[in-house]
Amino acid sequence: MADPIPSVAPELITAFKGAMRRLAATVTVISTGDGSERHGMTATAVTSVTTDPPALLICVNKTASLHPVLATGTRFCVNLLKDSHAEVAGAFGGRLQGPERFGTGDWASNAHGVPYLTDAQANLFCRVDALMLYGTHTIFVGLVEDVRLFGDISPLIYQDGRYIKAS
């Protein structure tokens, strides 16, 4: 059993946040649904884990509305946003709530009812394979079941609290 996470000095938290603002990351929307209900959120805490089997991880705050849905072990999609998707990122990043978010962008659903952004750079369709609680977040490992690629590579990037384009 892991030792409990010790309390952290506020100065360290502030410095850590400052360091993370310097870390550029591709913006994604994590989406899930069953055909009748859809959920989603903007995320940058996404990375590959392994190629054999293909898997990735996403980190989701326990207070996020998406969290309890993912915690059931459901399927989800990681939509890699293009540099023209700042409005989609904003909608799923808190500007809109619940199903209203899916009114921004062109969304479809796969055979499992998982919503995906049709013109995203890539859609990675996953099912939750493992999870680990850590501090304020849960780390979900998604086993990739399908990948859809679309168009050129032109990521929307988040750095220092704003969206930027790759140059």
In this structure, the strands spanning 115-117 and 122-134 are unpaired
- What is the sign, positive or negative, of the torsion defined by CA atoms of 42, 32, 66, 135? negative
Distance CA 33, CA 53 (A): 24
Paired tokens of 39? 């959920």
Give the pLDDT confidence of 69-89 residue by residue, as tens digits: 999 999 999 999 999 999 999
pLDDT band at 164 (very low <50, low <70, confident <90, very high): confident
- Write down the mean pLDDT value for the chain: 92
Count H helices and E strands in the chain, helices first: 3, 12
Query: What mean pLDDT do residues 85-108 have?
Result: 93
Distance CA 68, CA 70 (A): 6
For 23-71, give the DSSP string: --EE-EEEEEE-SS-EEEEEE--EEEEEETTEEEEEEEETTSTTHHHHT
Can you give the pTM of this predicted structure? 0.91
Give the pLDDT confidence of 24-56 residue by residue, as tens digits: 899 999 999 976 789 999 999 999 999 999 999
Task: Supply the pLDDT for residue 140.
Answer: 98
pLDDT band at 21 (very low <50, low <70, confident <90, very high): confident
Burial 76-93 (b: 16+ CB within 10 A, else e): bbbbbbbeebbebbebbb
Give the pLDDT confidence of 3-16 residue by residue, as tens digits: 666 788 888 888 98
Class of domain 10-158: mainly beta
Task: Supply the pLDDT for residue 4.
Answer: 63
Give the pLDDT confidence of 135-159 residue by residue, as tens digits: 999 999 999 999 999 989 999 999 9
Task: Supply the pLDDT for residue 1.
Answer: 53
